[in-house]
Structures are given as C-alpha cells and as structure tokens.
Amino acid sequence: MLEIDPENVTAHYNLDLIYKQLGDRDKAAEHFDLYLKYKPDDNARDRAIATHRAKNPAADHAAEAIVIYDLRRSGAYGLTAAEDMLAEDRIPPEETDPDLAEQRAGAP
C-alpha cells in the first residue's frame, strides 16, 4: 500500500500499532512519526470553517444540519409586489386573498 501511496495516514498509523504489538519499537516509532507528519491538521480546518461561518451568516445558515429557508421573505425571487408587501407585513392578507376577504366579511 505504501508503495502506491507513501503518505497514507491510515497505513502508517496501523503499521505503528502492528509493530508495537510485535515489539519492534524502532519500526513503530518510524511509522508513528510518518503518521504525525501526514496527519491533517483538524484544528486549523475547524478554525478556518468557524471564522468563515462567523463572517458569512448565509453560509453559516446553509451549513447547518437542517436548513429551513423562508421562501416568503421580502425580496425573495418570484414574489409579486403585493406578495412582497405581504411578506413584510405592510398590508393585511385579506387585501391580496379574495377568499380570505369574503370569509372575514361574511363572518359574524
């Protein structure tokens, strides 16, 4: 495996464990050093992601495990002017929905 991919982190880690069990401390130390050399820096990655998410609220929202988008928000693509005003709560719903207006007019 290491002939094909000499930087294979998993192979170096597993060889470290195997050589430790076999009692070959020198070979184990060699593979453990290579494992540490090629192991990704998880802290740097996590720090970069956290920094970007803090600076970009839209990216932070999109990166959540479950994302709910408000499709009726003001300025959303495809909303008519009346729907846009309705989304901003600037006009009552019955002014844009004739059925709702009839229901409220006929209600005692």
**Chain center to CA of 24:** 43
The pTM for the full model equals 0.44
Place of tokens 């998410």: 53
Q: How confident is the model at residue 68 (pLDDT cuts 50, 70, 90)?
A: confident
Domain locations in the chain?
9-59, 69-108
The half-sphere exposure of 70 on its side-chain side, counting CA atoms within 13 A, is: 9
Q: State pLDDT tens for residues 27-62.
A: 999 999 999 999 988 788 889 888 998 998 888 888
Mean pLDDT calculated for residue range 67-91 = 65
Q: Is 13 buried (19+), middle (13-18) or exposed (0-12) by CB count in 10 A?
A: middle
Q: What percent of the chain has pLDDT over 90?
A: 35
Q: Are 9 and 39 in contact (CB under 8 A)?
A: yes
**What local confidence, expressed as pLDDT, does residue 97 receive?**
64
Question: Alpha-carbon distance 87 to 81, whole Å?
Answer: 10
